[in-house]
Amino acid sequence: MASNFYWGDIDGWPKMHWISWERLCLSKENGGLGFRDSSLHNSALLSKMAWRLWSDPNSLLFHFLKAIYFPHNDFLDATCGHRPSWGWRSLMEGNRVLAEGLCWRIGTGLNVDIWQDAWVPTLADFKVTTPYTPLIWPSKVSNLIDESNRTWSDDVLSSYFNDADIVAIKKINLSLFPQPDKLEWMGSRNGVFSIRSTYHLLSNKEQARTSFISNVCLKVK
């Protein structure tokens, strides 16, 4: 209906397209009108289903799907598999979106892989940007923590990470008493999952991707 209002016709005469639909779907802060992109909104709705399943591993549905599709691994690591049902394919789309917004809150750091996992909230994709070297040490975030005073080890950080990563890592506050590492939703400030926060997360990433492609094309020209 929103698209037809701007792009429809009047008595058979098409309206003039003053601005692209992609621009209209941008947030008002970014110069758009905040219309919902149906594809991104659908992905956000699917991620809500994935969130409910992942956050309640004791549910009957979780056990049923785990026995069929991911008996040997975690839900976030599950794949579509061979000849999946329509419902499972939809959940996997939601699972993909869910994984983009989850970030580890560091406690002990024993369960978080430095190079593969998302654990630095202020970096893109929540992952370190320092190039990964297979033989590099260390591998777990716990190796970066000075347990004697529960702070980040400056010597270790300066030995293995670039300046941007060091600044971002040192912004992570460590609790005085180590707690278990925990995955949290980073799409909202309060850590509460919602379709709205998921949509804005996807919209911002899509805008960043489009801007990146446009800049690359301009450089090529």
- Residue 11's pLDDT is what? 73
Give me the pLDDT at residue 49, please. 93
Average pLDDT over residues 50-79: 93
C-alpha 120/C-alpha 172 separation (Å) is 7
Give the integer Cα–Cα distance in Å for 81 and 89. Answer: 9
Mean pLDDT computed over 68-75: 92
**Mean pLDDT across the stretch 54-61?**
93
pTM of the model: 0.77
Mean pLDDT rounded to a whole number for the chain: 85
Instruction: Give the mean model confidence (pLDDT) for residues 188-199.
Output: 85
Name the percent of the chain lying above pLDDT 70. 92
Structural domain boundaries in the chain: 1-35, 36-97+189-220, 107-180
Q: Strands, E, within the chain: which ranges?
A: 9-10, 13-14, 102-105, 145-146, 151-152, 182-185
Residue 179 or 23, more confident: 179
Q: Determine phi and psi for 59, rounding to 5 degrees.
A: -70, 155
What pLDDT is recorded for position 36? 83
